[in-house]
Amino acid sequence: MAAIAAVLMSLVSVLPPPTAAAAAAPGCPAGTSPFDDAAGSFAQSDIACIYRLGITKGTSRSTYSPRDTVTRRQMAAFLARLWRASGNTCPTEVIPFVDVPPNSPVRADVACIYGLHVTKGTSPSTYDPNGPVTREQMGAFLARLWEATGIPCPVGGSQFTDVSPTSFAARSITCLRNLGIATGTGHGRYSPHLPVTREQMAAFLARFWRKRGFVPGPTVVPIRPHLAPPGNLPTTPGASFFFEGVWSPRGPLIDGYHGVYTTLVRPSPTQPAIYVLEAWIDPMLTNVELFPGSQRPGGRWAQPNFVPPERCQNLIFAGNGGFKMTQSRGGYYSEGREAVPLRDGAASFVIFADHRVDIVQWGRDIAGADLPAIASVRQNLELLVDNGAVVHDIDSHVSSRDAGNYAQPIWWGWLVANSTWTWRSGWGVTKDGAIIYVGGPGLKVHDLANRLVDAGAVRAMEGDINPYWITGNFYSTDTDGTCRGEKGLPQPLDAGGFRRPGSRYLSPDSSDFIAVFADHSRWVP
Mean pLDDT of 414-436: 81
Contact present, 358 and 350 (Cβ < 8 Å):
yes
- Residue type at 383 in one-letter notation: L
Rounded to 5°, the CA angle 338-521-502 comes to: 65
* Weakest mean pLDDT among 89-98, 131-140, 212-221, 515-524: 212-221
pLDDT at 120 > cutoff 60: yes
Q: What is the pLDDT of residues 473-523, one digit of tens each?
A: 999 988 888 899 999 999 887 778 899 999 999 999 999 999 999 998 766
Q: What is the pLDDT of residues 68-109, one digit of tens each?
A: 999 999 999 999 999 998 888 888 778 989 999 888 888 999
pLDDT at 16: 36
pLDDT at 214: 63
Please state, as a whole number, how many other Cβ atoms lie within 10 Å of the Cβ of residue 96.
14
% of the chain exceeding 70 in pLDDT: 86
pLDDT at 420: 46
399 confidence band (pLDDT: 50, 70, 90): very low
Please state, as a whole number, how many other Cβ atoms lie within 10 Å of the Cβ of residue 234.
11
391 confidence band (pLDDT: 50, 70, 90): very high
DSSP bridge pairs for 438: 278, 426
- Residue type at 231 in one-letter notation: G
pLDDT at 266: 87
242 confidence band (pLDDT: 50, 70, 90): low
- C-alpha 253/C-alpha 263 separation (Å) is 18
415 confidence band (pLDDT: 50, 70, 90): low
pLDDT at 403 > cutoff 60: no
pLDDT at 1: 38
Mean pLDDT of 261-286: 89
416 confidence band (pLDDT: 50, 70, 90): low
